[in-house]
Amino acid sequence: MIKKIMWLIVFLGVSLFADIKSVVNKNEITRGEEVVFSLIANGNNVQFPNINKIDGYQIEGTQSSQSISIVNANTTREISKSYIFTPLESITIPSYSVKVNGKIEKSKPIKIKVVKFSSTPASSNFSLKMTINKKNIYVGEPVVLNIIFKQKRDINIGGIQFVQPDFSNFWVKSSGKDNKQVVGDYIVHDLKFILIPQHAGDIKIPASKVSIAKIMQNGNPFSFMLQKVKWTNLYSNELNINVKPLPSNVSVYGNFSITDKVDKTKVKANTPVNLTLTIKGDGNIDGIDNFKLKIPNITIYGDNPKRNIYFKNGEYTGSFTQKFALISSNDFTIPPIKFSFFDKITKKIKTIETKPIKIKVISSSSQVLKHQIVENNNTQQNKKNIKIIYKNKSSYEKWIYFIIGLFLGVILMFLLKEIKFLIKKEKKELPLVNKIKKSKNDKELLKILLPYENNYEIKNIIKMIEENIYMNKNNKIDKKELSKNIENILNPKEDDF
């Protein structure tokens, strides 16, 4: 009974002290700083609101905490929830409803004043400034921004923290590595950024900030372990950039050249020709899109392009390289490949192109025809020689030789027919099977099967092999099963009726 009374007292104690209050870590901040807004409730059962945004600014994180205190037999539970956000303009945090022990409590509104960065005047000990190499540019035109911080060499500091400006209107192509060097009496930190504007207009880059940890001396030379640190903020100047739009039908700015080359101009049928396309120059190389080649009756496989970009002589320069594999059974021509951009020198649209490349394809049928022509010429020559040999023979002898020759000719034709059949069978079956078994990789197997691509099943196998070679797929080709069934695939048997 006594325990129940004690729990009732505790419950009443919590309920009697139920209330809500709201606080912030700062009522005035510099643009870019965080605000921590906290709702604090005294109660046993507290339900905080679900806040995702405050006056349109996204909540970046939340924190929760609670504590319990007992004073004169009265128990108080304090629960708080904090919301972190970064307002860019002055706002008023509205009133929020919090349910405390079943009762709705209202928080008070809070005003937040946001002030702009103001450049800190340079002193003899520290200075911070931002510079940019161009202030009037085009969309896609790279610019170089430097944040330069100087500190006196004899000033003892505990650390430096750089806060880069808001670059939301740009693509940032450099992480701002600190190039530190000693110049006279100063240590100079130079952070370099390569920025590429995304859209046209007058763009303002807000001031950058550096936080300096100054070590406070306490006068005791033996108490270095107890030294205190005081953080001081230093602000740079702001920058204004005028960004002009590009013509509607181009998206790349710079000065470029284009070339292409092939590994061979004469190939066997269905053997790939490897084409390499290269664009070099200064400008927004990242903005060059993938090329998609289309040539009638040609199978084309394209790799993803590679970009090699670096900073040289104050220019954002490099190369764009894309490779293609082209496969055909007939002669073809690679047409000129065109590329258009906004020329930084002439300030006009410029179109450059490659030269056409003719590819000679040697088909198997042309080789067979050439062999037949040579063989027929040899046969005709042999017949001519035979006539010359028997020119001076008598009439009787001619008839005897003619009959013998005819008899031998019939036998020879029969033997030749059988030999050709055996050779043809041997060539079609055994060598092909052996070649398939002995092929070491997909490329060797592809060369073996290409002459038979007119067969539907072989064509599907060739397609799988080409995907493995040119598209990095992992299609399983069972060479043992293929060599076992190749004869039936090439010479299917008709079903008996």
Q: How far apart are CA 478 and CA 476, in angstroms?
A: 6
This prediction has a pTM of 0.53
The pLDDT value given to residue 349: 94
Dihedral sign for Cα atoms in the order 486, 490, 491, 492: positive
Assess contact for 386 and 379: CB atoms under 8 A.
no
Residues 6+ apart with CB under 8 A from 216: 227, 228, 229, 230
The pLDDT value given to residue 232: 80
β-bridge mates for residue 244, sequence order: 138
Kind and range of the H or E run holding 155: none
The pLDDT value given to residue 261: 95
The pLDDT value given to residue 38: 94
Mean pLDDT in runs of 10 for the chain (497 residues)?
40 47 88 85 87 90 83 77 88 92 90 75 80 93 92 84 85 77 91 90 90 69 56 86 92 94 93 95 91 92 91 85 94 95 94 95 60 47 43 57 77 76 53 83 83 79 82 83 82 54
Beta strands 239-244; 136-138: pairing state = parallel
Assess contact for 48 and 39: CB atoms under 8 A.
yes
Full set of structural domains in the chain with CATH: 2-115 (2.60.40), 126-244 (2.60.40), 255-362 (2.60.40), 429-497 (no CATH)
Bin 412: left if φ > 0, else alpha if -120 < ψ < 50, else beta: alpha
- The alpha carbon torsion through 134, 137, 142, 148 (nearest 10 deg) reads 30
Q: How far apart are CA 115 and CA 386, in angstroms?
A: 112
User: Counting beta carbons within 10 angstroms of the beta carbon of residue 139, is it exposed (0 to 12), middle (13 to 18) or buried (19 or more)?
Assistant: buried
The pLDDT value given to residue 221: 52
Give backbone dihedrals phi and psi of 429, rounded to 5 degrees, phi first.
-105, -70
Q: How far apart are CA 456 and CA 63, in angstroms?
A: 66
